[in-house]
Amino acid sequence: MYDNLATLAVFAFVFSVIAGRVERSTVSGPMIFIALSGTGEKLETKLFLAWFGPWGLATIVFFIIVANEHLPAESIIKHVVVCTITLCVVAHGMTANAWARGIGRRLGQEPVHGL
């Protein structure tokens, strides 16, 4: 199916981005909004929690479930899982501090130093 590593890498990256965005906008995000309804949380706080939802963790859990099934495309699944988790860590790492500080400023709270 994939004759070289570059093609597999591109496939894994594109699939991870699309699947992550589709899942985030259709499943995790709305579920977090539903769970927080009636709590009085501001829209930005709900968006923050939706962004930092279980994208990478869910990928790990689902991979563990299928890892012992010896599927024909097992190596492709492993590559996609690694790519998805890496993208999750990078995306969250690049956005966490700035967004959290911004929310804290807008809510009038002092940042916690040393964290």
Would 114 be classed as within a structural domain? no
pLDDT tens by residue, the chain, 115 residues = 556 777 877 888 888 778 766 766 676 778 888 888 899 988 888 888 887 776 667 777 878 888 788 888 787 888 888 888 888 888 888 888 888 888 888 888 666 665 5
How many C-beta atoms lie closer than 10 Å to residue 10's C-beta? 11
Global pTM exceeds 0.75? no
Would 80 be classed as within a structural domain? yes
Helix (H) or strand (E) holding 47: helix 43-51
- What was the pLDDT predicted at 24? 66
Would 65 be classed as within a structural domain? yes
- What was the pLDDT predicted at 39? 92
| Alpha carbon distance 28, 36 (integer Å) | 12
| Alpha carbon distance 45, 22 (integer Å) | 21
The range of the structural domain enclosing residue 72 comes to 5-106
Would 64 be classed as within a structural domain? yes
- What was the pLDDT predicted at 56? 66
Would 113 be classed as within a structural domain? no
Would 115 be classed as within a structural domain? no
Number of domains in the chain: 1
Would 111 be classed as within a structural domain? no
Would 10 be classed as within a structural domain? yes
Query: Which amino acid, one-letter code, is at 51?
Result: W
